[in-house]
Amino acid sequence: MFNKIIKKSIKFIVSLIVIFSFTLASAKKVFAIDEENIEVLAPSAILIEPKTGKIIYEKNSHEVRCCASITKVMTMILVMEAVDSGKISLSDVVSTSEHAASMGGSDIWLKSGETMSVDELIKATMIASANDAAVALAEYISGSEDIFVSEMNKKARELSMNDTVFKNCNGLDEEGHVTSAYDVALMSRELIKHKKIFDYTLIWMDYLRAGKTQLVNTNKLLKSYKGITGLKTGTTSKAGSCITATATRGNLSLNAVVLGGANGKERFKDAATLLDFGFANYNMLKPVINENIFEPVKVIDGMKPSVNIDAKVENEVLIQKGKERSIDSSLEIVSEVKAPVKIGQRLGRLVYKLNEEIIAEYDVIAVEEVENINFLSAFISLINKFFAI
């Protein structure tokens, strides 16, 4: 009887050890994720926070590669700019040229002379990745695809996309048509400044031609990833399977770019892995200001002896979870300023650091005007003080 109790006790203890070991291993898998443990199969990738442009993860991010229909991100930047400026309207009707109708690959089978609205062509471009629709939009905005592509390259230079050369507006394989994961992140960041684009990228299914043509979104993460907001997929034989994926949870937005994936399933897995890492490990934080640190600055030769100052902390910063209490702040202010002092005049800066790295800085400004002292103004001031006694 005693031996049976001993054996049962030993079995129970062994079971507890096994359960504890399994639980500990699982916990490590969930919580001990760091950048070195991220498994991204694609040859090139990057994860950024779009508001700040902060890079969270990168793998061969400047490697020059084909990007297929990710090209349409730049196409849509120019389209959205044309809409916002009033150059074109979403209700404008566009007639399809023979050139646009001749596109291969993904398309909506536009025929020469067929008409669609700008709104419908944007839907086709962003939901179904229609090459013919992208060209039709390009021609409508610039007169020809060649001129439009010149504008794409000009915009790329403005955005410091130094790894990029566009040869067409839809991403069909063409010699010398290249970009990088880093550059894709730059142009994705620019496109999502136009919030209207999400009206298209969040659509799973829609129809054109009075319901005769079905559009199904090429971004399958819309059905599987919490918080996904876009943005664009692309696939060709040279580019492989690519995606620029945007997602938002709470006040944190992220953009994962994957280029050269072996297949669609792999690119979606890689993008989800990167986004999961970002959401698990980072937060957006708005620095808290201690208003007591802002003492007036001495003014020389002014109508007032000093000027009040302040700093507007509007932008949030990206911070690794658990590091919030490690942030240090410092105030760098001039000891004195010569009149006149204008409202909004910069008098210093408020700096936030994490491990000696500057993570945010804000201008410290004058919040009032101080005029030069002169005989007349000094006399008036003296009179006013006399009668106030």
Q: Which residues are catalytic, by number?
A: 69, 72, 129
Pairing type for strands 228-236 and 240-249 reads antiparallel
Query: What token pair was written down for 331?
Result: 């105030």
Query: How far apart are alpha carbons 255 and 39 in whole angstroms?
Result: 17
Determine contact, residues 255/231, Cβ cutoff 8 Å.
yes
Nearest to 185 by CA among 80, 67, 283: 67
Three-state SS for 325? Answer: helix
Nearest to 288 by CA among 332, 334, 333, 319: 319
Residue 47 is which amino acid?
Answer: L
| Burial of residue 221 (number of CB atoms within 10 Å: 0-12, 13-18, 19+) | buried
User: H or E element: which one contains 104?
Assistant: none
Burial 14-34 (b: 16+ CB within 10 A, else e): eeeeeeeeeeeeeeeeeeeee
Determine contact, residues 245/228, Cβ cutoff 8 Å.
yes
Residue 90 CA to its chain's centroid (Å): 24
